[in-house]
Structure 1
Amino acid sequence: MLNDPFDIYFNEEISQLIDLLKTLFPYQELENFENQFKEVLNFKEEIGVYCLSKDFLNEQLWAYYASSYSGYCVKYDLDKLIDKEQNFDFQYQFEIDYKDNIPTLGIDDMINLQEGFIKKMFATKKSAWRHEEEIRLIFDKFGMKKFHPSAITGIYFGAKTTEIIKESFYGIFKDMDVKFYEVFPSNFKLDFKLIHETKRKLKYDLNKFDFEILQHKINVSHESYYIFYKGLKKEAEIEEFVFAFREKFCIKENSLYIFDNKEILNLIDVYPKNDDEYIKYADSIITVSDDWNEKIINNPFKDFKYAEIKKIR
C-alpha cells in the first residue's frame, strides 16, 4: 500500500470529452476509444508498484522506513531486477515527477500512453516528497515477484541494527556475492563502511585472468558480452577463461565475443562493415563461445569473405 494519500490522484477531462463527442458522432465510432480509456483507468486497481530510492544515505528514509536506523536497505542491480525473463508483467520504470499541481489527464495523454497517461497516474507526487528521490517499477499485476538472486548486490544496515539481525543476513546470503555495509552518523551527516562480504563458491578462479568488459547486451532471453582479453592465446587457457567468466557473470543463455584489441569497440555495432572494418574486426576477435554449444570457435571471422578481401589487396 502506498503511504501518500495523494498517490495516484488526478483529474481527467476525457470522460467529459467523450460525452460531448457522443452528441456529435455515432456511438459506434467512439466505442473503441471509450473502452480503451476505461481499461487504462481500471489498470490502477490491478497494478503492482515497487518503490525504490536513489539515495541510501537519506536520513528521513532511514527514520521512516527502517525502524529509526534499526533496519536495513537493499542495494539492487536494477537491470537484473527488471529482467522480463523473471517477470513478464514488468511494464514501466519511472523517476517520480514532484509537483504540487494535481495531474490532469487529457486526450494527448491517451495518444502518448507511457510518457503521458501512465506517468501522470503513477509517477507524480507532491513536492514535499522530493527528498526521497524515488524510482517506481510498474507491473501489470500486484503480488509477489521473482528476480535473479544476483540482483541483490549489497545490504546497508542502520546504525542501530542488532548483531543478531546482521548475522542472520550473513547466513541467508552466505553463497551469494553480497557486500554488507553499516550506515552511521559522521560529521553531522550519514556515512557508511564495509563490514562484511559473502561470496559464491566458484569452481573456476576468474582472478587469474586479465580482461576488460567492453560491452554487455541483454534482452529477455539472451545476453552477449564483448571482452578484451589480455592473457595468453593458448586454447586451453582461453577455454578455462570462458568457463570462469560464464560462471561469474552470466545469468541467461549467452554468447561471449573475445578480442585481443580493445580498439574495435566502435565496430561492434557497425552493420554492415566495410572491407577495412571487416579485416580489423576479424583480426581482433580471437574466440566466440555460445553456452548452448560447448565448442569454442577460434578466429570466427577469418572466413571466405576475409580471404577474398585479403586476396585482392
Structure 2
Amino acid sequence: MLVYKYRGGAFDRDLASLKQDYFWAANVDSLNDPCEATFSNSLATELSSISKLFNVRIEEIANEFERVLKSVDEFTNLINKLGIFSLSKNYDHQLLWAHYADSHRGFCIEYDLDIIKKQQHSFASHYTIDIGYSDSPGSIGLDQMLSLTSKKDKGLSFIQAMIGTKSLSWNYEEEVRLITDNFGK
C-alpha cells in the first residue's frame, strides 16, 4: 500500500531522515490532536451487566475488576512509550498540504508500507493501523481487555481503541499509523 508523509518547515531534519534512511516515530503526547489517546471506559458497565446476567454479586468480582483496571493503567503507560509515524493515503489534499507541508511550501514523500514493514529498523517491533473516525472516542471494554492476553491479537484491539480512533473532523487525513515499540528514530 502506498502512503504519504507531508513535510515542511524543517528541511535539514527531513532531508537527513531521507539520506540516512530513517523515520521519526513521535510519542502520543507530541501529536497535534488534543483528544489523542482519550477513550471511554465501559468496563464498569460491562462488569455490572455480567454480574446481573449471571446473578453474581458485584463485590465477588470487585477484586478481579481492580486487577483489570490496574492492567488498563499499565497498558496506558505502555501506550505513552509507543512511537507513531503518521501517514496519509492521500497525496493531494489541500488541507494536508496547508497543515503539514508548511502551507504548500514543503514536500510529500511516498512510502510503500509493505516495504517499510519488511525492513530492519531500530525498533524491536512495528505494525500498522488504519485510523477510524467517529463522533465518540474509542472505547475500552472487556473485548479489548481480553485482547491483552490473546496471543493472536497481541493487544492490538486495545491499541486500536486507544490510538486508532479520532474525531470525525480529522477524517480528511485518511490516516494510517505505523506503530513502533518506542518513540524516536
User: How far apart, CA to CA, are the structure 1 residues paired with 2:91 and 2:138?
Assistant: 28
Percent of paired sites with the same residue = 34
Which deviates more from structure 2 when the two are superposed, residues 46-55 or residues 16-25? 16-25
Partner of 1:6: 35
Partner of 2:59: 23
1:124/1:30 Cα in 2 relative to 1: closer, same or farther (>3 Å)? Answer: closer
Which of 140, 163, 174 aligns to 2:181? It is: 140
Deviations 1:142-175 (A, max 9, x none): 111xxxxxxxxxxxxxxxxxxxxxxxxxxxxxxx
Deviation at 1:11, TM superposition (A): 1.4
User: How far apart, CA to CA, are the structure 1 residues paired with 2:137 and 2:57?
Assistant: 25
User: How far apart, CA to CA, are the structure 1 residues paired with 2:123 and 2:129?
Assistant: 17
1:22/1:143 Cα in 2 relative to 1: closer, same or farther (>3 Å)? Answer: farther
User: How far apart, CA to CA, are the structure 2 residues paired with 1:125 and 1:64?
Assistant: 17
The equivalences for 1:57-136 within 5 A come to 57-83=92-118, 85-113=120-148, 114-136=155-177
User: How far apart, CA to CA, are the structure 2 residues paired with 1:119 and 1:87?
Assistant: 23
Query: Match of 2:169, SS?
Result: helix
Q: Which runs of 5+ in 2 are unaligned?
A: 1-29, 49-55, 149-154
Code of the aligned partner of 2:32 = N
1:23/1:91 Cα in 2 relative to 1: closer, same or farther (>3 Å)? Answer: farther
Query: Match of 2:161, SS?
Result: helix
Q: Which structure shows the higher strand fraction?
A: 1
User: How far apart, CA to CA, are the structure 2 residues paired with 1:111 and 1:134?
Assistant: 26
Does the CA contact (< 8 Å) of 2:132 and 2:164 recur in 1? yes
Deviation at 1:83, TM superposition (A): 3.3
Query: Match of 2:60, SS?
Result: coil
The normalised TM-score by structure 2 is: 0.65
Deviation at 1:35, TM superposition (A): 4.2
Deviation at 1:116, TM superposition (A): 2.7
Q: Which runs of 5+ in 1 are unaligned?
A: 145-313
User: How far apart, CA to CA, are the structure 2 residues paired with 1:103 and 1:44?
Assistant: 14
Does the CA contact (< 8 Å) of 1:93 and 1:135 recur in 2? yes
Code of the aligned partner of 1:2 = L
1:24/1:87 Cα in 2 relative to 1: closer, same or farther (>3 Å)? Answer: same
User: How far apart, CA to CA, are the structure 2 residues paired with 1:54 and 1:139?
Assistant: 19
Query: Match of 2:87, SS?
Result: strand
Partner of 1:197: none
Code of the aligned partner of 2:43 = I
The count of residues paired between Structure 1 and Structure 2 equals 143
Determine which structure has more spread, i.e. the larger CA radius of gyration: 1
Deviation at 1:109, TM superposition (A): 1.4
Code of the aligned partner of 1:95 = D
User: How far apart, CA to CA, are the structure 1 residues paired with 2:57 and 2:77?
Assistant: 22
CA RMSD of aligned residues (A): 2.9
Partner of 1:53: 88
The equivalences for 1:1-313 within 5 A come to 1-14=30-43, 23-25=59-61, 27=63, 33-83=68-118, 85-113=120-148, 114-144=155-185
Code of the aligned partner of 1:23 = E
Partner of 1:218: none
